[in-house]
Amino acid sequence: MSKIQDCVIKNRWDILKEFTEARIGLGRVGVNLPTNELLAFQLAHAQAQDAVHLPLDVDSLSQELNNMPIDLKLLNMQVNETGLIQDGCTPILLHSKAQNRSVYLQRPDLGRRLDEHSIKLLENFKSEDITYDLAIVIVDGLSSFAIKENAVKYIKKLTLSLANEQDSWKIAPFAIVQQGRVAIGDEVASLLNAKAVLVLIGERPGLSSPDSLGLYLTYNPKIGLTDAYRNCISNVRLDGLSYDEAVNKSMYLLKESRRLQLSGVNLKERTQDNIIENSFDEQKNFLIK
């Protein structure tokens, strides 16, 4: 065993591994990678592929949302014209125009629009007399694994923060979209009469992050908006941006978006400004020696 280890020529940068999951300081054996690093790469590649192709377990996700405690003042319990009523946190199950994964991967445009059945379903919930402050839309995107691991945990903390706000928030019924892209949240929110939408979507898997959740906020959502109208918070997961920090950033953007009635490039996320300013005052800014 010791002879095998002696064959590996260490890279001096391997001390940086404790700070990042990036493949750095791998070392070498001759002109090749060490076997353990090669196997780790192949495993990460397989996990990334699985994250893309594994179908979202909608039943399990719906059950988790049903069991999730939520402050009732966030929910609109009014009966609409069709007699339908939001049943706690029971999500509305929707589907994009992409019929399956193969079509979804080859036709991004179909992943941005709802199919006819989903549109009719949302129209049953819609009422001109009911307006929501926020729609939360869960979309499988390119990693159902990211949704499974992070979505409900993040929503629990977000709804708790929203309920504690002095200015009340009314949340639309949760929606789950299969085979969806980010922009599909705009159509969902506009059909629900929501002033803003927060899309939770599985991000494109990296070789060290198959479970990365992305958050996209759009104010005044409607079909046809580009990404310039959205604010993004990325890499929400246990080994990435923590749920607490993600909720902190989300609350800042949500409150500023509602106050200014906009989102996107004109809305800056400034939750770190105070830290930077304090560091400057204490001369701890890394740019100042």
Which residues fall in the annotated binding site for adenosylcob(III)alamin?
182, 203, 232
Backbone angles phi, psi at 92, to 5 degrees: -90, 125
Distance, in Å, from the CA atom of 55 to the CA atom of 45, rounded to the nearest integer, reads 18
Amino acid identity for residue 96 in this structure = S
Q: Which residues contact 262 (CB under 8 A, 6 or more apart)?
A: 219, 220
Q: Which residues contact 88 (CB under 8 A, 6 or more apart)?
A: 66, 70, 75
Enclosing H/E stretch for 199: strand 196-202
Q: Mark the binding-site residues, compressed into ranges.
A: 182, 203, 232
Other CB atoms within 10 A of residue 39 CB:
11
Backbone angles phi, psi at 211, to 5 degrees: -120, 30
